[in-house]
Structure formats: structure tokens, C-alpha cells
């Protein structure tokens, strides 16, 4: 049975992962609240990423920039003029629609990077009408996605600030402080996890396209002339993946499997870009996303953001098609040069080796937290007809709750509670005594809990409990005194379930 995005949003609401924000007042389009399971899953995704890309790397430092930011930052970055989508307004009901998505839905062809004139022609040619009322459209116009904020009591020429449209600009605008204080040496990265806000014309597909979301981003600074990447190993060069090149898209040819070294030798990207693209893809695999559901797509020349010379997206095969989950852009020197010009502050770094000053170039890998969250749920969602319930086969590393502890019967509540108390210090655990054990297993499956532990009458004698594996339903018996180490190894994947 194929799942739909509606199945996923209903499931996420029913289980307490995600709710529409302000639902009691009719809901706010493009805004979501995360419930008890959702916040755990989100935190696990972010923590796993932070550990991998910041805490485990001596060459990357982390920051946490402000959400509301000075207009001058966004003037310099080009967002106030260049960060926009085309919208079309219905003549009859007045509803606005994102023009490229409207045409894409109607004629089932990707419309990335399309210009206003072409959109207008396609709408006329295919007689595309308003999905809301079947009315006609006015000519398309550009709509800026930045959210302005009025700061302070007085409305002056300097009192308009902006909710940040991407986390990247906080990194570029703090870059000078980091160089002056953090003893970083090229090549190095500055990373950040945090909210970004975009006034999307038509939020849609549940949490895929929203107006408030989180990004996990690294701006990696490299000497401008340095083409060799010292981190590029054979595991990167030999990394195989499905790839959709610009020329394949032009010729309407499907993606095909390639090696990263093929892209380098075809000069589609440089070594540094290849390194970061591979590391980024690998991270999705490490949190359990299936490789066959991922591909890399090269941006078409007319689709590139105003700051990028080359961009590759990592896309996931969602129920509503292949869509971007991660963007990997070569931002070059664009942002630092812009901020240098606008702020009149030097963004140059003194290179001790050559005793010269330089403005580094930048590779930017950027992940969306919500899209990773959605992907993790869709990729692990199994409607198990035999069991009669959904099994959320989330990778144990990111599963919101790691363990459920049950007493077989109420009489054993206190004994099972002791086991729960022992485990809850080390693992996010739940104690469940409600209903039959079968019902409790089903509940745990739907919450994505990898292991259920049952205390039964034999446990009183042999001081052991039963562990049940979510994915296989296999069971093993383990001594209570060995439980902590056993569970820890199982969760890390360093021990087999036997």
C-alpha cells in the first residue's frame, strides 16, 4: 500500500509528534508545534548532527546567532532584492498562489528557476485556473519571502529588522568575531543549528514547506586558490549514489548511479565540494535513511540562488515526488565580499604560510531539520498488516524513546518499576502498565521504541527480563544486572540481538 502525506500527518498528530500551530483557533498555515515525541525526535536529529559535524571535528566551531537581525545584513546578502518567488493572484477570489508550483502541479513538469514571462505564457497556454474557485489569474509578480519586524517604539528608517531568512547570514556576519577570538586557521567551518523564517506563498505538504523551520548549516571557509581537499579519501571518491545531472534534466533522462570521482573528473564540482556532498549524504545514511530513496540533483543554471555558482541538492523520494532535503552550494566569496563592501570592515584573513591576506571561499552544506524529521518518519513507516499496527522502524540513534518497560501483570508493577528506575537514568524510557502486553507492544511500535522489556513471574526467580526487538519481534532473556550495558550496545549497534 502506498502511503500519502495525509497518512503521515494524521499519524504524526495521533501519536503526538506534530500538531498544526494554534489548532484551537483554526490553525496557522505554515506553522507547526511539536509534541512530546516530536520534540525528542527533533532534538535527537539535531544532537546527532551537532556531535558529528561540530563536536567531533577540530576544524569546525559552533555559534548561535540572533533570530531577529539588522536590515543591513539582508541588504548586503541580497535577500531584500533577490530572495523571492513568483506569485499569481486570482481575479475572482483574490487568493495568491506560488506560480511555479501551480504550473508544476497542472502540467506535471519541474518549473525550478522559471521566469515570470514564461509562467504567464504557460498559464495561458494550458488554461490553468485557480484551484480555489476556478477563476483566472492576473500576471505573475515577484514576492519577497523575508519577514520584516518593527523593533522598538519609534518607527524610524533604522527600526525595520528581519526574522532571519537563512541561518547562514548570522555566520557571515559573526565571521570577523570568530576569526579574532576562536584561533581558527583555514580551512575551517562555522556551524549553526537554528530557526529560519520564510514567508512562503503557499506552505504545503505538511512540514515539508513551512514558514518557520530550522536549518543545520556549515559555512566552510577555504583558501580561495586551494583546489585540493586534504580530507578527500577513497571512501569519498568511491562513494556511489544516484545522480541527476543538469544535462540529464535537459534531455529528460532519469538519474543513474555514479561515483563521486566521476563528478570530479567530469569537472561538475571541485574536491572540496565533493567532500562535503559525500559527508552530507553519508549523514542521512547514518541516521537510517535508505539509500535507494535518496539521490543527488545538480541545479539547473537558471535555478541557482543569487549567491551560488554551483549547487547540488540531496533529494528524497517523498510520496509527493523527489524533493530537496539538503542543499550543498558553492557560495564562493560572494557573501564575505558583500559584507566587506557594505560594512566597510575587512573580511580578509592573514595567511601565515604565504604572508598574504585573502578572502576565503565558501562551501555550504545545509540541512533542514523539519525535512529530515519528515523523511525519517516516512522512511521508517511500515503498515504491518500481520501485526495490525504501524511500526515506526526509526534508527535507534534518533528514536524519541529508546525503551518501554512493562510488568506482565499489575501484581508485578513494583518490580517492573524498579527495572524502569534503573534504566531511565541512562536511556529515555517509558513505563507502560495499561492494557494487554500485545496492546502495549503495538503502542510501542507506533512510537518507534526499539526495545520493550517485560518483567514476568520468572523474573522474580531468575532475576532476568525479556527484551523484544521492535523490527523483528524476536525476544531474548537478559539478566537485570547486565541490562544497562546490553541496551547501550544494542542502541549503538555494537552487539547483535541474541
Candidate segments 254-262, 278-286, 367-375, 416-424, binder of ligand ATP by CB under 6 A: 367-375
Q: Toward ligand ATP, which CB reaches closer, 103 or 403?
A: 103
Query: How many other CB atoms are there within 10 angstroms of residue 127's CB atom?
Result: 8
Least CB distance from residue 147 to ligand ATP, whole Å?
Answer: 12
- From CA 468, how far away is CA 472, in angstroms rounded? 8
Examine residue 210 and tell whether it contacts ligand ATP (CB under 6 A).
Answer: yes
Single residue of 15, 97, 209, 393 touching ligand ATP by CB under 6 A: 209
Main-chain phi, psi angles of 471, to 5 degrees: -80, -35
Examine residue 295 and tell whether it contacts ligand ATP (CB under 6 A).
Answer: no
Candidate segments 124-132, 151-159, 368-376, 432-440, binder of ligand ATP by CB under 6 A: 368-376
Q: Toward ligand ATP, which CB reaches closer, 186 or 378?
A: 378
Q: Toward ligand ATP, which CB reaches closer, 17 or 451?
A: 17
Examine residue 198 and tell whether it contacts ligand ATP (CB under 6 A).
Answer: yes
Q: Toward ligand ATP, which CB reaches closer, 47 or 484?
A: 47
Examine residue 327 and tell whether it contacts ligand ATP (CB under 6 A).
Answer: yes
Q: Toward ligand ATP, which CB reaches closer, 226 or 324?
A: 324
Q: Toward ligand ATP, which CB reaches closer, 213 or 455?
A: 213
- Residues 141-170 interacting with ligand ATP (rule: CB under 6 A): 166
Q: How many CA atoms lie within 13 A of 42 on its CB side?
A: 23
- From CA 168, how far away is CA 367, in angstroms rounded? 12
Residue 105 and residue 64 in contact, taking contact as beta carbons nearer than 8 Å: no
Examine residue 200 and tell whether it contacts ligand ATP (CB under 6 A).
Answer: yes
Main-chain phi, psi angles of 184, to 5 degrees: -85, 155
Candidate segments 266-274, 322-330, 337-345, 429-437, binder of ligand ATP by CB under 6 A: 322-330
Residue 75 and residue 180 in contact, taking contact as beta carbons nearer than 8 Å: no
Examine residue 104 and tell whether it contacts ligand ATP (CB under 6 A).
Answer: no
Q: Toward ligand ATP, which CB reaches closer, 376 or 480?
A: 376
Single residue of 44, 173, 215, 464 touching ligand ATP by CB under 6 A: 215
Q: Toward ligand ATP, which CB reaches closer, 112 or 118?
A: 112
Any residues with CB less than 8 A from the CB of 250 and at least 6 apart, and which?
A: 300
Nearest-CA neighbor of 138 among 102, 176, 199, 88?
Answer: 88
The maximal CA–CA distance of the chain, rounded, in angstroms, is 79
User: How is residue 346 written as a grid cell?
Assistant: 575587512
Number of residues that bind ligand ATP (CB under 6 A): 15
- Residues 428-487 interacting with ligand ATP (rule: CB under 6 A): none
Query: How many other CB atoms are there within 10 angstroms of residue 358's CB atom?
Result: 17
Candidate segments 252-260, 324-332, 339-347, 422-430, binder of ligand ATP by CB under 6 A: 324-332
Examine residue 176 and tell whether it contacts ligand ATP (CB under 6 A).
Answer: no
Residue 404 and residue 498 in contact, taking contact as beta carbons nearer than 8 Å: no
- From CA 49, how far away is CA 132, in angstroms rounded? 40
Cα distances (angstroms) measured from residue 108 to each of 102, 126, 246, 293, 316: 10, 12, 18, 20, 18
Examine residue 370 and tell whether it contacts ligand ATP (CB under 6 A).
Answer: yes
Single residue of 173, 338, 366, 380 touching ligand ATP by CB under 6 A: 366
Q: Toward ligand ATP, which CB reaches closer, 52 or 129?
A: 52
Which residue of this chain has its Cβ atom nearest to ligand ATP in the complex?
368
Single residue of 7, 324, 426, 446 touching ligand ATP by CB under 6 A: 324
For residue 157, give the 3-state DSSP assignment. coil
- From CA 143, how far away is CA 86, in angstroms rounded? 6
Residue 45 and residue 372 in contact, taking contact as beta carbons nearer than 8 Å: yes
Single residue of 161, 172, 213, 451 touching ligand ATP by CB under 6 A: 213
Q: Toward ligand ATP, which CB reaches closer, 218 or 444?
A: 218
Examine residue 281 and tell whether it contacts ligand ATP (CB under 6 A).
Answer: no
Examine residue 368 and tell whether it contacts ligand ATP (CB under 6 A).
Answer: yes
Least CB distance from residue 215 to ligand ATP, whole Å?
Answer: 5
Candidate segments 206-214, 255-263, 412-420, 427-435, binder of ligand ATP by CB under 6 A: 206-214
- From CA 58, how far away is CA 50, in angstroms rounded? 13
DSSP state string for 374-438: HHHHHHHEEEETTTTEEEE---TTT-S--EEEEESSGGGHHHHHHHHHHHHTTS-EEE--SS-HH
Q: Is 332 left (phi over 0), alpha (psi -120 to 50) or beta?
A: left
Single residue of 371, 402, 443, 470 touching ligand ATP by CB under 6 A: 371
Cα distances (angstroms) measured from residue 8 to each of 251, 359, 441: 34, 46, 21
For residue 321, give the 3-state DSSP assignment. strand
Candidate segments 11-19, 89-97, 321-329, 402-410, binder of ligand ATP by CB under 6 A: 321-329
Residues engaged in binding ligand ATP (CB under 6 A): 166, 198, 200, 209-210, 213, 215, 324-327, 366, 368, 370-371
Amino acid at each position: 500500500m502506498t502511503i500519502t502525506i495525509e497518512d503521515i500527518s494524521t499519524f504524526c498528530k495521533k501519536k503526538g509528534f506534530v500538531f498544526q500551530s494554534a489548532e484551537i483557533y483554526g490553525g496557522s498555515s505554515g506553522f507547526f508545534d511539536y509534541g512530546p515525541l516530536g520534540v525528542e525526535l527533533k532534538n535527537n536529529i539535531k544532537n546527532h548532527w551537532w556531535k558529528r559535524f561540530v563536536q567531533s571535528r577540530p576544524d569546525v566551531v559552533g555559534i548561535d546567532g540572533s533570530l531577529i537581525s539588522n536590515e543591513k545584513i539582508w541588504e548586503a546578502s541580497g535577500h531584500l532584492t533577490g530572495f523571492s518567488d513568483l506569485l499569481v493572484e486570482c481575479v475572482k477570489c483574490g487568493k495568491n498562489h506560488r506560480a511555479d508550483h501551480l504550473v508544476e502541479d497542472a502540467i506535471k513538469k519541474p518549473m525550478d528557476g522559471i521566469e515570470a514571462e514564461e509562467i504567464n505564457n504557460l498559464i495561458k497556454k494550458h488554461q490553468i485556473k485557480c484551484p480555489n474557485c476556478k477563476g483566472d489569474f492576473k500576471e505573475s509578480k515577484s514576492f519577497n519571502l523575508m519577514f520584516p519586524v518593527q523593533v522598538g517604539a519609534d518607527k524610524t528608517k533604522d527600526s525595520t529588522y528581519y526574522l532571519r531568512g537563512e541561518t547562514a547570514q548570522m555566520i557571515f556576519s559573526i565571521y570577523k568575531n570568530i576569526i579574532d577570538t576562536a584561533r581558527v586557521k583555514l580551512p575551517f567551518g562555522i556551524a549553526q543549528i537554528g530557526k529560519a523564517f520564510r514567508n512562503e506563498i503557499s506552505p504545503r505538504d505538511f512540514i515539508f514547506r513551512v514558514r518557520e523551520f530550522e536549518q543545520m548549516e556549515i559555512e566552510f571557509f577555504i583558501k580561495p586558490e586551494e583546489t585540493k581537499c586534504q580530507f578527500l579519501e577513497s571512501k569519498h571518491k568511491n562513494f556511489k549514489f544516484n545522480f541527476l545531472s543538469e544535462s540529464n534534466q535537459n534531455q529528460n533522462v532519469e538519474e543513474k548511479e555514479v561515483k563521486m570521482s566521476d563528478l570530479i573528473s567530469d569537472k561538475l564540482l571541485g574536491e572540496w565540494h565533493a567532500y562535503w556532498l559525500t559527508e552530507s549524504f553519508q549523514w542521512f545514511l547514518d541516521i537510517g535513511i535508505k539509500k535507494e530513496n535518496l539521490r543527488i540533483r545538480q541545479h539547473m543554471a537558471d535555478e541557482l540562488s543569487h549567491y551560488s555558482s554551483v549547487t547540488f541538492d540531496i533529494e528524497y523520494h517523498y510520496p509527493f515526488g523527489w524533493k530537496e532535503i539538503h542543499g550543498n552550494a558553492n557560495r564562493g566569496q560572494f557573501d564575505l565580499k558583500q559584507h566587506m563592501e557594505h560594512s566597510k570592515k575587512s573580511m580578509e584573513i592573514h595567511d601565515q604560510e604565504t604572508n598574504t591576506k585573502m578572502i576565503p571561499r565558501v562551501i555550504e552544506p545545509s540541512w533542514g531539520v523539519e525535512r529530515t524529521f519528515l523523511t525519517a518518519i516516512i522512511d521508517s513507516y511500515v503498515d504491518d498488516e500481520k501485526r495490525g499496527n504501524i511500526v515506526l522502524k526509526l534508527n535507534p540513534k534518533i528514536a524519541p524513546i529508546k525503551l518501554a518497560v512493562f510488568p506482565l501483570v499489575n501484581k508485578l508493577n513494583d518490580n517492573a518499576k524498579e527495572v524502569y528506575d534503573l534504566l531511565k537514568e541512562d536511556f529515555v524510557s517509558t513505563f507502560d502498565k495499561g492494557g494487554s502486553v500485545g496492546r502495549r507492544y503495538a503502542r510501542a511500535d507506533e512510537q518507534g521504541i526499539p526495545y520493550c522489556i517485560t518483567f514476568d513471574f520468572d523474573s522474580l526467580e531468575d532475576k532476568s527480563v525479556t527484551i523484544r526487538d521492535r523490527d523483528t519481534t524476536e525476544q531474548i532473556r537478559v539478566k537485570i544486572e547486565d541490562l544497562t550495558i546490553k541496551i547501550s550496545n544494542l542502541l549503538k549497534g555494537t552487539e547483535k540481538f541474541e
